[in-house]
Amino acid sequence: MANYTSQRGLRSGEHPFDLQNNLHKGAGMAAASKMTPVEIGLRARIQSLELTLGITQNSNIGVIFRLPASLTKLLGLLLSAPNVTPEMVAELGIVTNTKVAMHRLRNYLDIWSKANGQEDFDIRSRRTLGYWLDESTKKRIRGLVTSEVTVEQSIDEDLMEIDEATAPAV
């Protein structure tokens, strides 16, 4: 089977901004050596922007909602920015077609909310403003993603486990 290469010089299935994964998977130094210093600098800059905006792939968002990597980054961007324009998404290299990606993200979130008996998530949009999430929706998503267990609750749970382990068998 011939190895398809796109106009960007990427093999099929290879994400252009996933330098760390490409290096980690063993495509490694060969892939990095083919890049120009400008490409390496731009990719590092994009990764630092993603870290700053909080849209990294290491987030729990994708795991909880069962999202692909690009939609995970898109939802992370929606959570961190007041509004998201198609230009922002294109500059960060998250997806090529923002309208289609938002449609897919809405479908994934609808499927998740129906499966878990939750209220639908509302991703709002307006032609000149872009896309955004209401504060209440952002709080709901953050509440699902971050654990809201206090230190006292975790200590109480640990003590209950110890009590159960040391209790005599009946």
Residue whose tokens read 């290879």? 14
Identify whether 1 is part of a domain.
no
The total domain count for the chain is 2
Please give the residue range of the domain that contains residue 97.
60-170
64 and 131 co-located in one domain:
yes
Q: What is the pTM of this model?
A: 0.57
First-last CA distance in the chain: 65
pLDDT in tens, the chain (170 residues): 444 444 444 455 555 444 444 444 444 444 556 778 888 888 777 777 766 665 554 457 888 889 998 999 899 889 888 999 999 999 888 899 999 999 999 999 999 999 999 899 999 999 989 999 999 999 888 888 875 444 444 455 555 666 666 666 65
User: Quick one: 88 and 22 in the same domain?
Assistant: no
Residue 116 is classified by DSSP as T
Tell whether 110 and 153 lie within a shared domain. yes
How far CA 157 is from CA of 148, 150, 160, 161, 169, in Å, comes to 14, 11, 5, 6, 20
For residues 82 and 158, state if they share a domain: yes
Q: Are residues 141 and 85 in the same domain?
A: yes
What pLDDT, on a 0 to 100 scale, did the predictor assign at position 164?
A: 62
Pair 15, 31 in one domain: yes
| Same-domain pairing of 70 and 13 | no
What does R_g of the chain's alpha carbons equal in angstroms? 21
Same domain assignment for residues 26 and 91: no
pLDDT for 61: 82
The upper half-sphere exposure of residue 85, i.e. CA atoms within 13 Å in the direction of its Cβ, equals 6
> How many other CB atoms are there within 10 angstroms of residue 56's CB atom?
15
The per-residue pLDDT for 121 is 92
Shared domain for 69 and 26, answered yes or no, is no
Give CA–CA dist 31/53, Å, rounded: 27
∠ CA 82-141-75, nearest 5°, is 55
